[in-house]
Amino acid sequence: MLITRRTLGLSAVAATSAATLGRTAHAATEPIRIGWLASLTGASSAPAIGFNRGVVFATDAINAAGGVKGRKVEIITRDTQGDPTKAVNATQELISQLKVDAIWGPTNSGESLATTAVMARSKMPNIHPCVVDSLIDTKKYPNAFRMAPANGQWDDAVRGYALKIVKAKRIAVFGDTTGYGVTAAKASAAAFKADGADVVYIANIDATQPDMTPDMLRARTAGAEAIILWSVSTGMIARLLNTRGTMGWNVPFVGHPSLSSGEIGSLVSAKENWANVYAVGYKSCSFDAAGHLPPRSAEFVARLKSKVDLSDTLLWWVAAGYDAINLVTTAIEVTGSTSSDSIIGYWNSLKAYPGVFGDYTYSVDQHNGYPTDEVVMSAANSAKDGSFTLAPGYS
């Protein structure tokens, strides 16, 4: 079932985008073109696949309702495979050849670092969910907006939870050996130290390593009371959790949203291995004590029902993809223009724009639009339809 659904979705995207090649003229009846730089295949493509469902859903919804002022919305997808070179090519193609009105993505920081300057050169309105802090710089890149938390916001949430609620004093920090894992682990360890915590062990682990026992043993020997994890590799996370289970060491894991990725549920050797694991989550996509989503999200999930599969992805990915498209179309709808100045100008004026994923606020000199208090920790193993239960300690 998974296979067919995904295939269908992708080929639909492929077909739409293939059909749009070659047309370049702009006119009031011409469709609104939004470029979508998705890492659909290649390593760590789960988020993009989730985002893509939101993108397709939003587009279908808008077009079914008659489009934006009578103009259809057209998504032009490029599979960047997480490769910065492919991302730069696709970005320039979207800008110069296909003349899109705005670009959503890319979804990996490595790609985004390379494409941001290219987009800035053409003042292309760009909205992306990448976490690296330096990607947002309103002086250098006045066209780039972030609609998800920056790494610092994730880091704050994780650190706050580990120190205040888990009350750990001795911390072990793990990252994988990708660019992201190395950098995030280093920054996280530094921030813990700055907060006076004792970082007893820090390691970058090769995600393909079949056995995680050595690093876990070292962390235990060093007396770690919590393990902070920065990695998108679900295989590595599952191996770590299984090793913890085998060792009979119930140390809490706190860290990256991937800790709550649905894949882990099938990869852990016993259900309880996934307990006492806390991943970054979002209030908008978390169940309260009574098991209810916030009203806006609940209504969104109801609309997705039977149209979008949430069982193997995360609600926040779908919601963010949905919001991204709506942020673009709303800007065009409100200003009545597809010029980059008016789209960027509109975004700069947003105060608590009510999206599904969160309320976005931007100004001329603040393009980190996601509210920090929306970032919470959730119980990693509590996923139901892509949403999570808040971690213990939040009231």
Partner 1 sequence: MTAWFYVAILGVLLLLPLTGNEYRALIGTRAAIYWVLIAGLNLIVGFAGQLAIGYVALFALGAYTASILAAGNVIPEVHPALALIAAMGVGAIFGLVVGLPALRLRTFYFAMSTLGFATIVTQVALGWQDVTGGGIGLSGPSLRPPFDTPWGLYWLSVGLAIAFTIMTANVAQSRFGRALIATRDAEVAAEACGISKPKVLVSVFLFAGAAAGLAGGLFASLQTYITPDAFTFDLSLLFFIAILIGGRGSILGPLLGTILLTLLPEVAAPLAAWSTFVYAGLLLLIVLAMPGGIAALLDRESRKALPSERAILPQHQALQALLSTARKKQRLQLSGILLAFGGLKAIDGLDLVVEPGEVHGLIGPNGSGKTTTLNVISGYYKPQRGTMALGEMALAAGRPVGRAADGICRTFQTPRVIGEETVLENVMVGGTLAGQASFVEALLSLPRARADERRIKAMAMQALTAVGLDNLAGIRADRLQHSELRFLEIARALMLHPRLLLLDEPAAGLSVQEIKRLGALIKAISREGVAVLLVEHHADLIFDICDRVTVLNLGRILAYGTPSEIRAHKEVVSVYLGA
Partner 2 sequence: MLYSIIASGLAVGAVYALIGITYNTMFATSRVMSFTAGQLGMLGGVLGSLFILRLGLPIVVGLAATLLVCAAIGVLTEFVAVRPVLKSLDQHLYVLSTLAFALMIQQITATEWSTEPQPFPRLLGIGEGIWDEKYWLPVVTCAVTIAALEYLYRRTLIGRAFLAVAEDNFAARALGLPERNLRVASYALAAMVGGLAGFSGGQLLLAFFANGPQLNFYGFIPVALGGLGNNRGAVIGGVALGLFQQAANFAVGGIFASVAVFVMFIAILLAVPQGLFGSSSARRV
- The binding site for partner 2 (CB under 8 A) comprises 2-3, 6-7, 10, 41-46, 49, 176-177, 182, 203-206, 208-211, 213-214, 217, 233-235, 238, 246, 261, 263, 266-267, 269
Would you say 287 and 254 are in contact if contact means Cβ atoms under 8 Å apart? no
Helix (H, G, I), strand (E, B) or coil at 28: coil
Nearest to residue 386, comparing CAs of 57, 164, 128? 57
Return the sign of the alpha-carbon dihedral for residues 142, 33, 73, 48. Answer: negative
- 263 makes contact with partner 1 (CB under 8 A): no
Could you tell me the smallest distance in angstroms from the CB atom of residue 41 to partner 1?
5
Strand locations in the chain, DSSP E? 32-38, 73-79, 102-104, 126-128, 144-146, 170-176, 198-205, 226-230, 253-255, 277-282, 286-287, 353-354, 359-360, 375-379, 388-389
Give the residue with the Cβ less far from partner 1, 242 or 368: 368
Q: Which of residues 89-118 bind partner 1 (CB under 8 A)?
A: 89-90, 92-93, 95-97, 110-111, 113-114, 116-118
What is the greatest pairwise CA distance in the chain? Answer: 67
Residues in the chain: 395
Q: Which does 276 bind (CB under 5 to 8 A by kind): partner 1, partner 2, none?
A: none
Could you tell me the smallest distance in angstroms from the CB atom of residue 181 to partner 2?
9
Return the sign of the alpha-carbon dihedral for residues 267, 268, 274, 279. Answer: negative
Give the residue with the Cβ less far from partner 2, 204 or 297: 204
Q: Which does 21 bind (CB under 5 to 8 A by kind): partner 1, partner 2, none?
A: partner 1
Give the residue with the Cβ less far from partner 1, 181 or 245: 181
Q: Rounded distance, CA 86 to CA 222, Å?
A: 43
Binding region for partner 1 (CB under 8 A) out of 65-73, 76-84, 321-329, 342-350: 76-84
By CB under 8 A, name the binding residues for partner 1.
Answer: 10-11, 13-14, 17-18, 21, 38, 40-41, 77-79, 81-86, 88-90, 92-93, 95-97, 110-111, 113-114, 116-118, 121-122, 132, 134, 177-183, 186
